[in-house]
Structure formats: structure tokens, C-alpha cells
Amino acid sequence: MPTAPEPPPVVLIEGLTKRLRGVLAVDGLDLTVERGQVVGLAGPNGAGKSVTLKILLGLVRPTSGRVELFGEPARPGAPALARVGALVDGPGFVPHLSGRVNLRLACRLAHLGDAELERAVANARLGPAIDRQYRTYSHGMRYRLGLAQALLGQPELLILDEPTTGLDPAHIREIRHAIADAAAAGATVLFSSHVLREVEQVCTHAVVMQQGRLVGAGRVEDLVHMTDTVRLETDRPDDAAEVLRATDGITSVLVDDGAVEAQGPALRPGDLLLKLDAAGLAVQGFRRGRSLEEAYLELVGETAAESGPPEASPGP
Amino acid sequence: MIGVELVKQLHRPRGWVTLGLVAAVPIVLVLVVGLSRPTVAERLGDYGSVVTNSSGLTLPLIALSAMLLFLLPLAVAVFAGETVAGEASWGSLRYLLARPVPRSRVLASKAVVAAGFSVATVVVVVVSGVVGGVLAFGWHPVTVVDLQHTTVFHVAAATFSAPAMVLRTLAAAAFILATLASTFAFAFFLSTLTTRPFSAVAGGVGLSLVSRALDNVPGLHALSPWLPVTDSGTTAWTGFFTSPPQTTDVVHTLVVQAVYSAGFLIAAFVWFTRSDIVA
Amino acid sequence: MIWVEFKKQWRRPRTVITFAALAVFSVVLTVAISATGSGTVERVGDVPLLIVPGTSGLSVPVIALSSTMKFFLPLAVAIFAGESVAGEAGWGSLRYALARPVSRAAYLATKLFVALVLSLVAIVLIPVAAVVAGTVAFGWHHLVIVNGAASTATHQVVANFSPGLVLGYLGVATAYVAAGMMSIFAFSFLLSTLTTRPFVAVAGGVSLTIVSRVFNSDYLPGVAVLNPYMPNNDVDLWQNFFVRPAVTSGMAHFLVLQVVYVVVFLGAAWIWFVRKDILT
């Protein structure tokens, strides 16, 4: 029986290069995003994250390389863009119109009906302010409206570029929930951030960029070495380190900052704790895996060391 | 798409203020003329002269003549220059473009709406002039003295009945719109290049001013037929008011406008569809 | 401080381009005239003066000054004046320039002086370049003024000026035109202290020139009464030097008008700048 052909990946980027104002903003990037993934694009300012997202949206033309959105080439006016919702470089609305009218215009352009408009208005959670002129909105209100517009029509792919910039913790949480809800409803999310804690919390996958290049990618679990690293805090780290080194299945032990980090395939932390207890060493704190920040710094640090002094970054 | 663009622009105070100001000018002229009661004929361009208060139907022409130098190009430049640059400055251009619609269509809808407003501007001047003029001075035939053929011995003049005058006035208004086309197209083109609407507007007005200034430099005569905005080009419509009508300048001006407008509009489309939207 | 300011403004692309454009204008004008008919009669200004350019290189500065005084020179002056303070504000360096033990009035005076010098250089550039280019093209001869209309075939010589005399007249005329630009200069300078966008100040100066033109009785009926008070209309009166008998009426009035405008605009600029909060 013939099997149905596999649907193409939501995003396919191969060898993407973009030269912007004489500087290589993106340099040979390869990236694939499959349906249902929540991918975090991490990297310092000037890493090329924004430019990559803009290329996906057809706003910027690649210098070379292959970029596909839902199996079709990404270009200005691509039909696939009907399935995409975006919030890039901050929200942008017509200042002298109200939030509601702005959303209504967006609905008309996307051929969506009143029901969808009402949903978006409810989504924005602006209360009576929805009928006030956009120019009177605070920073947080603008972002809410921008997110509501990105979610119009329940897009299959959500592209968010630094969606939490300048927002207070309550708003950040809202965005996180919105991303989680969209993912739960089956959407694919691609969002860029330089706040790694967010990426760690929300994403299933992470991609780390630096100076236009990919320096690390994979499932978040893998990047933080969730299953094969453990970090223990104890009063006598050197003694603990010795004990651990002697244990089977431990491939490396590092003492760092008063703590011991042990790595090995298929670690069983419970067993390690029992071993240390038997040796009379009390463990004060322990954590599985590293933080994404640590992993990221390692990735980014490695690359900087490899490639020598950094080139001028392409700017924000 | 045009509908959406229309909503955006109709709600702007800027559009209504411009139209309002433009409508006020003929009224002001009516008052000025009414108060000063000039019996000396007003000159219309190179061809003819009219007596202003012999008929209200001369008012639209006087108003158009007065506004040609600066106000009309300014209004047209405002409408054309605001379109794309305004959207870029609001930050909403990228969302307008990240959609399954070719960029050329987006640009076309903006051009159409801006052009509509420009046409409305001239229409408003004519209507306001006719209404104000007729109320003040009456609905009478107009006599236009043909300056080119008048000699000491003979005054060549043509008299137009009121309806004929209205018809010719409409033709003149249409021609004036055509002379504004190059300014419109240039401001529109600038609008795709910058994120500051003010620059696009200033550029449009600048084209008009620089072109006129060059036209007026004695010694640069050879250049004049090729300039987008010239004294003779913008007043060639006065040739409609002689009998028989003089149309050589009219045709030449229309061709020049067509070339410049096409050039700038094509440049705008090419740039817009190919450029990276980083704003 | 003046020296520092000069260094800042002198090398700017804006300054260089403006000077280059003005210098080139005279040259282009000369080339155009010699190419298309130096033998034909040119009508200069409203006086009107009728000159046959081919007869004397000194006709070129007369033409050049006449054609630039109504738009291009006000534009150049507006550029220099408008850039002065607003440019600093736009760069964000105004606050650092002022947070120093220097009075605001002194700062403003420095800016004013430098902008003024640049404007005067620009104004002088036109006739100087024109004299050079014109003499090279048509020779150092007497300037001949003819009568009749530009389109008639024969003309009678109405007046004849020796080159030295013409040069003298041109010197005075340039000074007169320069004085005439001062109202535009002062207005742009005032706007420069009010806005952070130099463009706005420049546009304001140009707009004042346009308004002045429009309120000229040629374009609008019934506004002739305002004509004597417009800042830029009588700047062409120097052309009367070349009429025989020479007429100089109206020039003194125009100069007084300029002084009034300058005092009002610069006074306002000073009062405002010394008091205002610098937020940019």
C-alpha cells in the first residue's frame, strides 16, 4: 500500500548566507524545524537571528542558500505566508487608529471574519483600551496587541523575534503562556531570544547562533546534558571528586567553584548520592544537567577560541 | 487591499486638513477680489486675461493659477510621500509585507489611494471656486482677451458661455493634474526609499522648486523643454481659453509628464519589490 | 571654540557639496550659454535688462546672481543656518557641548558666526566663479545693455559699462544680495534652535522664501499691499544699477527690512536658547 508522502519540514534552511551592508550577517546557516517543535534561536546581539527570521518572512533576500517555508521557497509574497503569524522587531500598528480597527484591518487583509476579530480582541486582553488610539498605548499594551495580531487565524507557524524585550515579568509570563498554548494546539513556534532562561523553559529545541553561524543545535535536553551530567555541591569537593572518579560509568569529573560536576552516559544520580553518603560525604545540593546559559557560554566560548578574535558583528 | 489602505488614510487628520485648506483658498480669493473690486484684468498665463469679477466662473482659474506654484505640488507631495514612508515609520510596513501578497500589489494599492486624494484636491479647488465665485459674482459668460493676437488696433477676445466655461475649466483642471504627476511620482518614489515621510514630501516639493528655478535661469533655455515642472508647462492650460484653442504646449507638457512619471513610478516599483525591508 | 566649530562644519559632505554645486553652477551656466547662443539677447530680471552674453564675460555674473538669488542662494543659506544648532541636537552631542563652563550665549554666538561665514562664502562663490568662467568664455569687455523686447530682431544700445565699473557694481550687488539673504538666514537659525531635525529648519527657511515669492503681486491679486514687507522680494533691486539713469530707490528700505527681520528672529532665537531645557 503506498504510504502518504511525508509533509515537508515547516522550515528548511540550507547554506543560508546574507551579506548586509558589507558585513556577513548570516554565514552558511543550516536549520530545519519540524512540525510541532518549539525552537528557540539563541545568540548574542548581532548573531544574525533577526535577519534569519526576516528572510523567512520574505522581508529580506538571501545572498545565497536555500530557504523553504512549508516546502516552498521563502520569498516576498509567498503563499505559505498565509500560514504564518509573526512579531518581529516589535509591534507595528497605525498610530491614529484604535487597536480594534488595526486588528480589523489585519483581518480584512487576511480574509478573516468577525469571529476571528473578536477572538483576537479577547486575546489581546486590553479591555476598553482596545477602542483607544494605538498611539496612546503603553509598551506592554503594544506588545499584547502585536501578539494578538500574530495569533490571528491560528497560524501553523509562529515566528517571534525577541518577543519579551522590555516587558515586565508578568507580561513575559503571558507571552510564555501564549507560546505554550499555541504549541499545545499543534502550532510550530520559532522564537529568538537572548534571554536563555526563557528558551530553556519554553522550548523543545534550541539553536545557538554566533556571528552568523550555527554553533550548536539540538533538543534542549541534549544541550543541557540533562541525562548525562550532574552537579553536586559538597563541603569537601576534592574528596567527593576522588570517590566519583573511582566509580564505574563516570567518564569525567570536574571540580569547579566548590562543586563537583560528573559526566557519564546514563547517569543514575541516586546511586551516586548513596555512594557519597557511604563515604561520609554529605551532599548539600545537586542539579541535573547544566543551565542552558552554561551550555551556551561553552558553545560560544569554544567558537570564539577556535576562530580567533571576533569579526565586527553586524549590529542589532 | 485598496479598501484597507483607504481606511488607514481617511482617518488621518492630515488628509482632511489638506483638503480643507485647499478648499479655503478659493474662498479667500473670492473675499479678496470682492473686497478690492479690481477692474483691471487678471492675467492667465501667456495667452489670455480675464476680468475677475465679471463672473464667478473666473474664480476657479484664478485659484488654480495661484496654487500651482507651491500649494498644489505641496499637497500632492504630502499624499504621495506619506504612503510608504509613513507605514515604515510606524513599524507596520513589515507586517503589511509578510503576507501572501506580491509586493507590487501592496505598492499599487498605496499608489491608487494617494492618487485618489491628489485628484480630490484639485476637484475640491474647482468646486470651491465655482461655488464661492458664483455666489459672489454670478453665473455669467466670461470674456477672455487673447494677448498673443491683440494689437493696438484690435482686441482679440473670445467669449465663453457659462456651461462652455465650466467644461473648459474642467479640462484645465485635468491638465493641471497631469502636470502634477511628475511631482507625485517623484515623492512616491522617495517614499519607498526613506522611513521619514517628511523627507519624501520635501523631496517632492524640492523637485518642483528646483525645476522651476532652473527654468528661470536665463541662458539655460535649452534645458526648459526637458524639465518636469516649468512655468510654461504648468500654464499651458490657458491655451484652452482662446478660440481656437492652442494645444501645442499642452501636448508637449503631457508627454514630458508621462515620461517623468513613468520613470519614477517604475523606479519605485523596482526598488520596492527588490529591497530588503530592515525597518 | 570658533576654530573647533569651523573644523566640525568645514569638512562635512553637506558643506563641500553645497560649495561645489554653487561653483559648478556658474561654470555650467557659461557652458550652456556659449553652446546655445551667446549671440542671442537674454532678458534678465524684471527690470528688464537685456544683455547679449556673447559680448562680454561680465554678463555671466549678472545672470548668475540674478538666477540664484531667488531660490538657490536662500536654499544654501538655509542649509548652513539650519544645520548649526539642530545638527548638534540631532547628533546627540548638544548636551555635551553645553554641559561645560561656557555660557549659552557664547555657544550660540559661535554657531552663528561660523554659519554666517559659510553662508557668505557661498554667496560670494557665485559671482566670483561666474566672473572667471565668463571671462574665459567671452572675454573681458564692456557690458552692453540693449532695449526692445527679447524677441525683436534689432536692438539699440541703451547703455555701455566699462568692465571695471561693472565689477564695482557687482561687488556692491553681491553685498546687497548677501544682506538680502540675512532674513532667511536668521529665520533658519531660529528654527535650528527649536528643532532637533536640521531638515525642518532648512525647509522652514525655504518655505519663508516661497511665501515671500507667493505674496508677490504677480501671482495673487490684491496682495500687493504686503509686498514691501516680504523678506525676499526686493532682492533684485541691484539690477537697477545697470539701468540708465540708475535707480536706487527701494534698496535702503529693503536693507532696513532685513535688519528688522534679523533682530526679531535672532532675538527670539537667543531668548529661547538661553532659557530652554535641553532634553536631547
Residue range A11-47, pLDDT digits in tens: 899 889 988 888 888 888 899 999 989 999 988 877 8
For position A310, what pLDDT does the model report?
43
d(CA B273, CA C211) in angstroms, rounded, equals 38
pLDDT of residue C193: 93
pLDDT score recorded for residue C31: 84
Nearest residue in chain B measured CA to CA from A94: B90
Is the pLDDT at C30 greater than 80? The verdict is: yes
- Our CA angle for A154, A158, A160, nearest 5°, is 135
Minimal C-alpha gap between B40 and chain A (Å) = 48
Residue C134, pLDDT > 60, answer yes
Of A54, A78, A92, the CB nearest to B100: A78
* Binary contact (B276, A59; C-beta < 8 A): yes
Q: How far is B71 from chain A (nearest CA, A)?
A: 25
B252 burial level (CB within 10 Å; 0-12, 13-18, 19+): middle
Give the pLDDT score at C247: 74
Q: Is pLDDT above 70 for C217? A: no
Instruction: Measure in Å the smallest separation between the Cα of C100 and chain B Cα atoms.
Output: 33
B142 neighbors B58 (Cβ within 8 angstroms): yes
Is the CB of C222 less than 8 angstroms away from the CB of B35? yes
The amino acid at residue A4 is A
Q: What's B235's DSSP letter?
A: T
- Tell me if B58 sits within 8 A of B52, measured CB to CB: yes
- How confident is the model at residue B39, as a pLDDT? 61
Contact criterion met (CB below 8 Å) for C180 and C57: no
- Give percent of chain B above pLDDT 70: 90
**ipTM of this complex > 0.95?**
no
Average pLDDT, chain C: 83
Segment A251-310, tens digit of pLDDT: 878 787 778 888 877 777 788 888 888 888 888 888 877 777 777 777 777 655 554 444
Contact: A77, B276; criterion CB under 8 Å: no
Rounded Cα gap, residues A87 and A152, in angstroms:
11
H or E element, residue C49: strand C49-51
Mean pLDDT of A197-201: 81
* A near C: at least 3 beta-carbon pairs less than 8 Å apart: no
Per-residue pLDDT, A314: 39
Cell numbers of C205, please?
Answer: 527657511
Does B90 touch chain A if contact means CB atoms closer than 8 Å? Answer: yes
Contact in structure between C163 and C240 (CB atoms under 8 Å): no
- Which set of grid coordinates corresponds to residue C4? 573647533
By C-alpha distance, the chain A residue nearest B274 is A61
Interface of B with A in 144-163 (CB under 8 A): none
Beta bridge partners of A214: A209
Q: φ, ψ for residue C203 (rounded to 5)?
A: -60, -35
Query: Which residues in chain B have their CB less than 8 angstroms from residue C35's CB?
Result: 222
How far apart, in whole angstroms, are the C-alpha atoms of residue B65 and residue B176? Answer: 10
Q: Which residues of B touch C (CB under 8 A)?
A: 29, 32-33, 35-36, 38, 42, 52, 62, 65-66, 69-70, 198-199, 202, 209-210, 212-213, 216-223
* The pLDDT of residue B185: 96
Contact A57 B94 (CB under 8 A): yes
Which residue of B8, B100, B105 is in closest CB contact with A79?
Answer: B100
| Nearest CB to C43 within list B62, B210, B218 | B218
Chain B, nearest residue to C40 by Cα: B219
> Quick check: B227 contacting A, CB < 8 Å?
no
First to last CA, chain C: 22
Q: Is B114 on the interface with A (CB under 8 A)?
A: no
| Cβ atoms C116, C7 nearer than 8 A | no
What's residue C148's pLDDT?
Answer: 63
Tell whether the model's pLDDT for residue C153 goes beyond 80.
no
Strands A38-42 and A205-210: parallel
Is pLDDT of A188 > 90? yes
**Segment among A99-103, A143-147, A179-183, B1-5 with least mean pLDDT:** B1-5
Mutate to test the interface with A, among B1, B10, B82, B94 (most CBs of A within 10 A): B94
- pLDDT at C221 > cutoff 70: no
Q: Is C145 at the interface with chain B, CB within 8 A?
A: no
DSSP state of A133: B
* C72: chain B residues, CB-CB within 8 Å: 213
Nearest CA in chain C to B32: C222
For residue C152, the model assigns a pLDDT of 59
Which of A185-194, A305-314, B79-88, B244-253 shows the lowest mean pLDDT across its residues?
A305-314
Give residue C94's identity as a one-letter amino acid code.
Answer: L
Name the C residues in 196-255 with CB < 8 Å from any B CB: 197, 199-200, 203, 206, 210, 213-214, 219-223
Indicate the SS3 state at residue B196.
coil
Looking at every residue in chain A, the average pLDDT score rounds to: 83
CB contact under 8 A, A82 and B99: yes
* B13 touches A: beta carbon within 8 Å: yes
pLDDT at A312 over 70: no
Alpha helices in B46-102 (DSSP H): 59-68, 71-90, 93-97
Tell me the domains of chain A and their CATH numbers.
11-223 (3.40.50.300), 227-289 (3.30.70.100)
Quote the pLDDT of residue C194.
Answer: 92
Give residue-wise pLDDT tens across range A96-129.
Answer: 888 998 898 888 888 888 899 999 999 888 889 9
Residue B195 burial (CB count, 10 A): 18
Test mutation, B16, B83, B89, B99, chain A, max A CBs within 10 A: B99
Q: CA nearest A316 in B: which residue?
A: B278
Surface-to-core class of residue A82, CB atoms within 10 Å of its CB (0-12 exposed, 13-18 middle, 19+ buried): middle
Measured CA distances, B25 to A223, B57, C181 (Å): 71, 15, 29
Rounded CA-CA distance C166/C14 in Å is: 33
Q: Are B94 and A88 a contacting pair at CB < 8 A?
A: yes
The pLDDT mean for chain B works out to 84
Average the pLDDT over B48-74 and give the result.
80
